[in-house]
Homo-oligomer: A and B are copies of this chain.
Amino acid sequence: MHKQDYSISSLDTLFSPRSLAVIGVSSDPNTIFNAGNLFVEALQDFGYGGQLYLVGNSGGELRGLKVYKNIVDIPGDVEYAIAAIPNQNMPQLVEDCGRKKVKFIHLFSSGFGEIEDSMGTGLQREMLKIAARYHVRLLGPNCMGVYCPQTGLTFAERFSRTAGHVSYLSQSGGQSIIGIREATQRGIFFSKVVSYGNACDINECDLIEYFTHDPDTGIITAYIEGTSDGARLYRALKEASVKKPVVVFKCAATEGGRHAAVSHTSAIAGSNKTWDSLLRQTGAIRVHNVKEMFDVVTVLQRCVKPEGLKTLVVGHGGGTCVQATDDCCRAGLTVPLLPVKYRQALMKIYFTDAGNIFKNPVDINPYWGMEFAGEAFKAVADWPEADVILIPAVPEQNPFRSREIQYQIYVDTFIQWVGMSSKPTVVALTVNTMPGADGLPERSFQKMVDAGLAVFPSVQRAATAVHRVYQYHQWLKKHTSKT
């Protein structure tokens, strides 16, 4: 296959095009669902700052803008095009875009290398040839494109306008959207997100290399199904990991998944064993879904570096604390016994350990008063052995208090505790699957997120994320002391 060979900096325009044409819109008022129209709506509502042009067979006007019948008819320059037209018309469009000196085409449409019919692969090859001739670069096909809050690029109107320092490349459009939504709700914001689909031209290596050198990217996250150049990916990941954390959700890891990936994005997924060792050697942090991805980012952004795995578990609820300890140990952390000195300090505060546990886990009841809880936390939090502090709680476990009070006391106590801690400290607030429709758990999470806490919906997820970040730092230490 043809492969454009440009320098990394040439991707800049992909994220900050001064002009953009959406191709495949319809001005027909009877149109019910038109992807082109939806892109226009999203871009306008989101506030894309460049020059926006529309192209569609209908001509006419849409949302206050003229609809040109062909991209070549547009009077001004077009740096970036979003193409949502039938697959068989795509080669001609690439030709037209080439003549118009478009720099990047985002091919939204599917029906190329990923379908069973060999016509799809033929079309993809043809587009690439034309694109090479005109030096136009292709994103996709079969993907959602670019989200960049700083420049107003988006593929959904309801994404956050706040820019951050995480960049995310995703072979799947759906996983890119889920990721953005998951992250946003947890106080994680993006510099750049690219849904890159079949990767016929711009691929995971291009994007990782670009993000490695991008000063606005502090953490790279990636959903990858397959690669066509394992050696380059290895180099790209390793170079990136030395500079900034790279979190990789490698999907299509099983045999069934690999079949699926071919039909999804035409990806050649490769064996899981190969990927596992590739990711381990390059320092990439491997996760198995989007939630775990942003669990890791949460620890990276909201916790100081964990210097070891010894964990102090301080929370509320006997069963909760026993389970939390199991879950920590299963995730690779250790929960060593608290020295007598600290246990005595807790006895001095509470007079009895009846109804509490003072051993690590430390189970203290914040309902007995926040002053006591604060004093108790302070008494154990500076135990020099502890590398990490994990705070577990399950608000729904209290039989008598109102739900409002349960959540409120936990949230207030944990915000107080984290404020007193100088160690990596994570909060695991476990709620029911369907906690009723009153929004109380969500509001409670949000309050902690807004206060800067690293919050997780289970101990298992919190502990796993901490362990993964610790392992990354271990890798980094080894690979930076060498160089």
Question: Which chain B residue shows the least CB distance to A326?
Answer: B257
Question: Which chain B residue shows the least CB distance to A294?
Answer: B433
Q: Does A306 interact with chain B (Cβ within 8 Å)? A: no
Residues of chain A in range 447-475 having any CB-CB distance to chain B below 8 Å = 449, 457-458, 460
Q: Does A231 interact with chain B (Cβ within 8 Å)? A: no
Question: Which chain B residue shows the least CB distance to A269?
Answer: B322
Could you tell me the distance between the alpha carbons of A185 and B112 in the complex, rounded to whole angstroms? 44
Do the beta carbons of B185 and A319 come within 8 Å of each other?
no
Q: Chain B contacts of A264 at CB under 8 A? A: 318-319, 321-322, 357, 363
Do the beta carbons of A265 and B396 come within 8 Å of each other?
no
Do the beta carbons of A174 and B319 come within 8 Å of each other?
yes
Q: Chain B contacts of A177 at CB under 8 A? A: 396-399
CB distance from A290 to the nearest CB of B (A): 9
Q: Does A314 interact with chain B (Cβ within 8 Å)? A: no
Q: Chain B contacts of A457 at CB under 8 A? A: 433
Residues 254-268 of A, flagged 1 when their CB comes within 8 A of B and 0 if not, give 111101110111000
Do the beta carbons of A261 and B322 come within 8 Å of each other?
yes
Q: Chain B contacts of A445 at CB under 8 A? A: 433-434
Copies in the complex: 2
Question: Which chain B residue shows the least CB distance to A144?
Answer: B399
Do the beta carbons of A432 and B181 come within 8 Å of each other?
yes
Do the beta carbons of A326 and B252 come within 8 Å of each other?
yes
Q: Does A404 interact with chain B (Cβ within 8 Å)? A: no
With A326-B254, A437-B439 as known contacts, state yes or no: A432 contacts B182, CB within 8 Å.
yes
Q: Does A167 interact with chain B (Cβ within 8 Å)? A: no
Residues 338-358 of A, flagged 1 when their CB comes within 8 A of B and 0 if not, give 000001000000001111011
CB distance from A55 to the nearest CB of B (A): 19
Question: Which chain B residue shows the least CB distance to A334?
Answer: B256
Could you tell me the distance between the alpha carbons of A175 and B398 in the complex, rounded to whole angstroms? 10
Do the beta carbons of B174 and A325 come within 8 Å of each other?
no
Q: Does A291 interact with chain B (Cβ within 8 Å)? A: yes
**Of the candidates B110, B357, B400, which one forms a contact with A156 in the assembled complex, judged by CB atoms under 8 Å apart?**
B400
Most buried by B among A33, A439, A442: A442
Q: Does A236 interact with chain B (Cβ within 8 Å)? A: no
Do the beta carbons of B396 and A259 come within 8 Å of each other?
no
Residues 15-40 of A, flagged 1 when their CB comes within 8 A of B and 0 if not, give 00000000000000000010100100
Q: Chain B contacts of A254 at CB under 8 A? A: 325-326, 329-330, 335
Could you tell me the distance between the alpha carbons of A112 and B354 in the complex, rounded to whole angstroms? 8
Q: Chain B contacts of A182 at CB under 8 A? A: 396, 432-433
Q: Does A438 interact with chain B (Cβ within 8 Å)? A: yes
Q: Does A228 interact with chain B (Cβ within 8 Å)? A: no
Could you tell me the distance between the alpha carbons of A256 and B361 in the complex, rounded to whole angstroms? 8
With A111-B352, A354-B111, A438-B439 as known contacts, state yes or no: A174 contacts B257, CB within 8 Å.
no
Known: A174-B317, A256-B336. 18 other contacts (CB 8 A): A42-B400, A116-B343, A116-B358, A172-B317, A173-B318, A173-B399, A182-B432, A185-B436, A253-B330, A254-B325, A256-B360, A257-B322, A257-B325, A259-B360, A260-B322, A264-B318, A288-B330, A435-B442
Please list 22 pairs of residues, one from A and one from B, whose beta carbons are closer than 8 Å in the complex, sorted by A's number.
A38-B400, A42-B399, A87-B354, A114-B354, A116-B343, A156-B399, A172-B317, A174-B397, A178-B396, A182-B396, A186-B434, A251-B322, A252-B326, A255-B329, A256-B334, A261-B322, A263-B357, A288-B330, A289-B327, A433-B445, A434-B446, A437-B442
